[in-house]
Amino acid sequence: MIEKLEKDMISAMKNQEKDRLTVIRMVKAALKQEQIDHKKEINDDLLVDVVNKQIKMRKDSIVEFEKGNRQDLIDKTEAEIAVLKEYLPEQLSREEMLKVIDEMFAEVKPEGPKDMGKLMGMAQGKLKGKADMGEVSAIIKEKLQA
């Protein structure tokens, strides 16, 4: 994944794809910052974490842009998210995600909302990078309340 990021950056420079190049450079800068701040080795796991954070920030921005009725900024931000998603592992479908969550419930046998932390910890291990953790959290909450 890291190699793909490097190759894509060079390709974006050669093809003069300014928007794509900007997003890739932001990811590289965030990666470097994470490495420095947390003394972590740059690897695919760190890349997935950074890309997920970048996507989350952009989704939050889209919500604000919608409030301000700024379709131009929404379109630009959605294009950035599309570029970022190229650096994530294959995402699970909703059915696959529900299957994994059901397996976790069978294993943990939660008694109520107090087991949310335990389930989310397990979900982090099994689904991180493969599914939107916000959606996973919402599904788990829903199942715990049922």
For the chain, percent of residues with pLDDT exceeding 90 = 64
Q: How many residues does the chain have?
A: 146
- 106, 86, 97: which is closest to 126 by C-alpha? 97
94-145: CATH class: mainly alpha
Residue 75 CB neighbour total at 10 angstroms = 12
Q: What is the mean pLDDT of residues 73-82?
A: 96
pLDDT of residue 44: 84
What are the sequence ranges of the domains in the chain? 2-85, 94-145
Comparing 8-12, 45-49, 68-72, the range with the smallest average pLDDT is 45-49
pLDDT of residue 30: 94
Query: Tell me, what amino acid is at 125?
Result: G
Q: What is the mean pLDDT of residues 51-66?
A: 94
CATH of 2-85 given 1.20.58.340, 3.90.1490.10, 1.10.1760.20, 1.10.1510.10: 1.10.1510.10
